[in-house]
Copies of this chain bind each other. A is one copy, B any other.
Amino acid sequence: MPLNAMPDAPASGATKARILDAAESLFMAHGFEATSLRAITASADVNLAAVHYHFGSKEELFQSVLARRLDPMNRARLELLARLESEAAPSPLPCERVLTAFLSPALTLARDPARGGKDFLRLLGRAYADPAPFIRHFLAEQYGVTIARFKAAFARALPHLPARELSWRLHFIMGALSYTLAGTDALKLIAELNPHDTANDEVLLRRLAPFLLAGLTAPLPDPSTVTRSLRGESARRRRAAPAARKPV
């Protein structure tokens, strides 16, 4: 009898893939430490030892879960950036299009080739905030060249921006992006974001992009602007010369 090529057969050779799917979902929901291998293998309906047979350890499983989708996403980012740059040549690619090249592959992934796209992005958002060395090393290796490439593209688009300022702003962008992707129900903290919005990642990124672009192209900070009113001497100055305030 033909045992192979059955679409929903649990005993097919897809044990490895089923472990990856279950692990992705559970790691996303509870984090790396709080997810046990027994919970994963039970959810995937495979034997406990299968994880070590196919992946070697829990940490390697986690890295495989990330790499399965991160790898193609970063490749798509680099390819899209190269394509847009060659189209715009010889003039440098404008800032908002570099940003598009960075965000849109994430959007495509969120819209889910196969299943788990959104779960994965939330997992990725969590991984960014995890200080575990094996996670940080993995992300650094996986993201290093991509970030460097985009940083160079942004530097060309924003020649007036000092390199260190650009580094910080890319850091802020990664923060807003990963936090948004992590999509904890901290949303409910803020307000009446209806379920429609949270479900539609395209709407989400269409709102995120202008926000990030504005921050990226913001004027350079003025040393006296932000921390001025914090020491308690703002009352008199505020009333005396309100027009002296900088239009940040």
Q: Decide if B151 touches A174 in the complex (CB within 8 Å).
A: no
Task: Report the minimal beta-carbon distance from A34 to chain B, rounded to whole angstroms.
Answer: 4
Specify the main secondary structure of chain A where it touches its partner.
helix
Residue A82, interface by CB 8 Å: no
Q: Name the interface size band of chain A.
A: 35 or more
Q: Decide if B218 touches A136 in the complex (CB within 8 Å).
A: no
Q: Decide if B179 touches A175 in the complex (CB within 8 Å).
A: yes
How many Å lie between the Cα of A245 and that of B104 in the bound state? 17
How many Å lie between the Cα of A177 and that of B178 in the bound state? 12
Residue A8, interface by CB 8 Å: no
Q: Which residues of B contact A148 (CB under 8 A)?
A: 191
Question: Which one of B100, B128, B214, B226 lies within 8 Å of A218 (CB-CB)?
Answer: B214
How many Å lie between the Cα of A174 and that of B178 in the bound state? 11
Q: Decide if A225 touches B238 in the complex (CB within 8 Å).
A: no
Binds B, one of A11-19, A46-54, A58-66, A163-171: A163-171
Q: Decide if A168 touches B193 in the complex (CB within 8 Å).
A: yes
Task: Report the minimal beta-carbon distance from A75 to chain B, rounded to whole angstroms.
Answer: 15
Name 6 extra pairs, CB < 8 A, besides A104-B230, A206-B221, A214-B217: A87-B234, A165-B207, A170-B191, A172-B208, A174-B190, A213-B218
Q: Which 8 A-B pairs have the closest CB atoms?
A: A175-B179, A214-B218, A33-B33, A104-B230, A167-B191, A211-B215, A215-B215, A209-B226
